A and B are shown apart, each in its own frame.
Chain A
Amino acid sequence: MNIADDKLIINGQEISSRLFVGTGKFASNELMKSAIEASGAEIVTVALRRVDIDNKNDDMLSAIDSDKYLLLPNTSGARDSAEAIRLARLARAASGINWLKLEVTPDPYYLLPDPIETLKAAEVLVKEGFVVLPYINADPVLAKRLEEVGTATVMPLAAPIGTNRGLSTRDAIEIIIDQANVPVVVDAGIGLPSHAADAMEMGADAVLVNTAIATAADPVMMAQAFKLATEAGRIAYKTGAAAESKMAVASSPLTGFLRDE
Chain B
Amino acid sequence: MSKLKINGKEKDFSHKIPSCLSELLELLEVDGATVVAEIDGEIIERSKFETTKLQEGQSIELIRFVGGG
Binding site for B on A (CB under 8 A): 22-26, 32, 45-51, 53, 56, 59-62, 71, 73-74, 76, 89-91, 93-95, 161-162, 188, 208, 210-211
Q: A47-B66, A47-B67, A74-B69 are in contact. Are A53 and B43 (CB under 8 A)?
A: no
* CB neighbors of A among B23-50 (8 A): 28-31, 34-36, 38, 43, 45-46
Q: Which residue of B lies closest to A21 (CB)?
A: B69
Given known pairs A51-B35, A53-B30, A90-B38, the reply for A46 and B7 (CB within 8 Å) is no
- Whether B29 lies near A50 (C-beta < 8 A) is no
A93 touches B8 (CB 8 A): no
Of B7, B9, B65, the contact of A73 (CB 8 Å cutoff): B65
- Taking A45-B69, A47-B69, A51-B7 as known contacts, 10 extra A-B pairs with beta carbons closer than 8 A to each other, sorted by chain A number, are A22-B67, A26-B67, A46-B65, A47-B67, A51-B35, A53-B28, A53-B62, A56-B30, A59-B34, A188-B69
A57 CB to closest chain B CB (Å) equals 8
Q: Is the interface of A mostly helix, strand, loop or mixed?
A: mixed
Query: Are A61 and B65 also in contact (CB < 8 A) when A56-B30, A90-B36 are?
Result: yes
Whole-angstrom distance from the CB of B1 to the nearest CB of chain A? 20
Q: How far is the CA of A162 from the CA of B6 in the complex (A)?
A: 31
Cβ contacts under 8 Å, B65 to chain A: 46-48, 59-61, 71, 73, 91, 94-95
Instruction: Report if A48-B43 is in contact (Cβ < 8 Å); known contacts: A56-B30, A90-B38.
Output: no
Which residue of chain A has the shortest Cβ distance to B34 in the bound complex? Answer: A59
Q: Which residues of A have CB within 8 Å of B28?
A: 53
- Docked complex Cα distance between A73 and B6 (Å): 23
Contacts of B36 in A (CB 8 A): 48, 90, 93-94
Within the complex, the shortest CB–CB distance from A166 to chain B, in Å, comes to 16
Nearest residue, chain B, Cβ from A20:
B69
The 9 closest A-B pairs by CB, nearest first: A47-B68, A22-B69, A210-B69, A94-B36, A23-B67, A51-B62, A24-B67, A50-B7, A46-B65
B15 at the interface (CB under 8 A from A): no
* Distance to closest chain A CB from B51 (angstroms): 16
Among the listed B9, B62, B68, which residue makes an inter-chain contact with A22, where contact means beta carbons less than 8 Å apart? B68
Query: Do residues A161 and B69 form an inter-chain contact, with CB atoms below 8 A?
Result: yes
Report the minimum CB–CB distance from A150 to chain B (whole Å): 23
Would you mind naming 12 contact pairs between A and B with Cβ atoms under 8 Å apart? A26-B67, A53-B6, A56-B29, A60-B65, A61-B65, A71-B65, A90-B38, A93-B45, A93-B46, A94-B36, A94-B46, A95-B65
B63: contacting residue among A45, A74, A94, A162, CB under 8 A: A94
Complexed CA–CA distance, A96 and B33 (Å): 13
Q: How far is the CA of A7 from the CA of B66 in the complex (A)?
A: 29
Whether A23 pairs with B68 at a CB distance below 8 angstroms is yes
Bound: A94/B63 CA distance, A: 8
Complex CA gap A188/B68 in Å reads: 12
